[in-house]
Structure 1
Amino acid sequence: MDWRYNTIWFEQLEQGDFFTKDFKENSISTDNKDFGSAKYAILWYLKRKLGSFDNLCDSDRLLYLELNWANITDFTGIGKFNNLKRLELHSCVKLESDNGLNQLSDSIEFLHINQSKKFKFDHELCELKKLKVLRLNSCGPIESLDFLSHLPSLVDFRFVNTNVLDGNLNPVLEHPTIRSVGFFNKRHYNLKEDKLTLELGNKFSEEHKTFAYKGDYSTFRIDYGDNNS
C-alpha cells in the first residue's frame, strides 16, 4: 500500500510514516507527532501566513499531502516538499490560482483538486511534465482541454462537475497516454462520457490497473511504469 493507490488504507502504513493534524483544534490524532518525519500527511484547516505553507516545516520525506478546508489561495512555498508525489486538496474554497505549483515539477505525479470553485490555472500546472493523474473536480471553468498536450505523461484525467467552455473533448482522445477519463455529460460537449470511455478502451487494450483487497473492499493503483513507493 502506497500513495499510488486510488484509496489509501492508511492503517496499513508504518505508524511513523503517517501524520494528521487539525489546526483549528490544534490536535494531532496519530502516534507520530512530527510532521517533518512523515511520508503521508493529512491536514485540516491549515492557515496561510505570508506564504501558503509557512505553518509547515520543510520536508524531503513527504510523499503524500492532503489538505482539507485549508485557506490557501495559491501554492506559493510548496517547493519545500521537494519529493512530493501526490497532492490532494478538498474544499479549499479560497484557492484561486496555480501560482507556485511548478515548484513540484520534478516530483509530482498525482494532483487532485476538489471543491475549489474559484480555482483557475494558468501555465504552471502545464509545467508538471511527470503528472500521471489529474483530477480537477468541481473547480472553476476550463477554457479548453488543449493544455493536455503539455502533460505528456498523463494517464488518468477527471473533471467531474467542472465545465469545459468550448465543449471540445477531442484532446482527451488525441492524447497519446490518457487511458481513463471521468466527467459529467453536458449538452455542449461533442463527446459523451460512455462514448469517450469506449474509445479509450479500444485504444488501450491492456489492463493498466493493479488491485488490492481488504475483505469486501478493493482499491487500485494505475500502473505507469517507473514509480517508487
Structure 2
Amino acid sequence: MKIARRLLYIRFVATTSDTMGMNMVSKGTEAALNHFQQVFPDMEISSLSGNYCADKKPTAVNWIEGRGKYVVCEAIVSKKDVSRVLKTTVPALIDLNISKNLIGSAVAGSITGFNSHAAKIATGQDPAQVVTSSNCITLMEASGEDLYISCTMLSIKVGTIEGGTQLSAQSSCLELLSVQGSNRAFLGHNTSQLARVICATVLTGELSLMSALSSGHLVWSHLKHNRSTQCLSQSS
C-alpha cells in the first residue's frame, strides 16, 4: 500500500489456484473496494486499477515484491560439456555473463532485464504478460572446473485453465507437459509446475545464446541453419 498526496494505492494479494487469475482478482478487488466505500462513504474510487498493480509493464515493484510465480532454476554443466557441446569455456561464459547480462544491462538502465533473452512464453498464455514474466536475472559462476548457472524469474504470470489455454493447440501443448487443466488434489500445482518448466527452458536458452556469443558462432549459426540461405545463395 502506498500513499501519494490524497491518493491511496493498494496491491491486493490472492491465491488463484491453476488459473492465471487476472479476471478473478479484478472481480474480487472490485467487491472489496465497494465494501470499503460503504465503510468510508467519503472515499472516492478513481479506478479499479491505479497501475500500482504494475500489470503488463516493466517495473521495480514486480521485481521486488513478485507477481505470479517466483521461480529459481539452477544447473551444473561440466567443463567437458561446455567445451565439447557449447564450444566455449567456463571462464569465458562467466566473464561474458558479467559484462553483458549484469554490467551491460545496468549501463542500458534496465530495471528487470539482467538476462540475454528470457522473454519466452507460449501454451495459451496472455502474450501481453511477457513484459512482466520476462523479469529474470541470469547468474554464472565456477563450480570447481565446471559451470554453475542459475535463472531467477520473479514474476511469471501463467495459468493452465481458462483463457487461451482452452484452445486446441495450446491445450495439447499443456497436456504434453502434463499440466493441462487443474490439479484437483493439489490446487495450484499445475501452474507452479508450468512456471518451473518455463524457467528451466529459459535457463537452457540463456546457456545456448551465451555460448554462441562467447564462441563467436551466433551469426554463423544463423546463416548456416536459416532456411532462406539456399534461396539467397541461388539468387546471388
TM-score, length-scaled by structure 1: 0.24
Question: Max radius of gyration: which structure?
Answer: 2
Structure showing greater relative contact order (alpha-carbon pairs closer than 8 Å, 6 or more residues apart) = 2
Instruction: Report the structure, 1 or 2, having the larger helix content.
Output: 2
Higher strand fraction (1 or 2): 1
